[in-house]
Amino acid sequence: MLIHQIKMPVQKRSIERLEKVVETTILMLETQSIEQCSIQEISTLSGVPRNYIYQYFPTINHLFSLIVSRYFAKLRPYLISDAERYRGWLILDIIEDILAKACRFYNENKVASILILGGPVNIDGFSLQEMVIDQISEDLIMMLKQISISFALQNQNSITLMIELMFALMKRSFYHHGKITIEIQKEILLVCEAYLEKKSIFL
């Protein structure tokens, strides 16, 4: 995966230059189309030499992968930060609350939506999206076990597939509306409820 190919700097000046590159890329994505975002343009706007950028990011997708990983690092604790709060809740109510948080996060972070919901940049980008889904499903399973939620779940795959369905609807909403709408959030909950009932997870 691309994220594992990135060699991060250790010296202070190099770190500062890299952060300038990341900040410039995020600003470009917020104000321009992803197609306009290139290493050459980032170099021009950031003042960081192109050859220096290539040392750490051989392609623009390596840079995108780093940015996605940073947004995901913020998203994970935001989604499931206080498991005890959910003690005694029904599973669907927990999912509704976590969904609302996820939608709020994406709607407030345009670049995260562009890079994660906007569709894979390439096959490595797609793998990164799947990593996000897999990790969120693992976090959810761990949280449900932590608060002793009883549900008839044979394996983690069922929760992962449900999150995949949620993710697909969120992506569609972003593609058509530039955000995850309230209407789509309601549709996502309907899909989750039907899926959980079919899987007898409420039993």
Query: Which amino acid, 25?
Result: T
- Asked if residues 12 and 6 have their Cβ atoms less than 8 Å apart, the reply is no
pLDDT, position 169: 96
pLDDT of residue 148: 74
| pLDDT for 79 | 86
> What is the reported pLDDT for 17?
92
Question: What's the pLDDT score for residue 203?
Answer: 42
**123 vs 57, 58, 64, 71, 128, CA distance in Å?**
17, 16, 13, 19, 9
Residue 2: per-residue pLDDT: 60
Which residue stretches of the chain have pLDDT < 70? 1-5, 119-127, 149-155, 200-203
- Rounded Cα distance between 160 and 179, Å, is 23
Q: What confidence score (pLDDT) does residue 186 get?
A: 97
Cα angle 200-201-203, degrees, rounded to a multiple of 5: 70
* pTM for this entry: 0.86
pLDDT of residue 120: 56
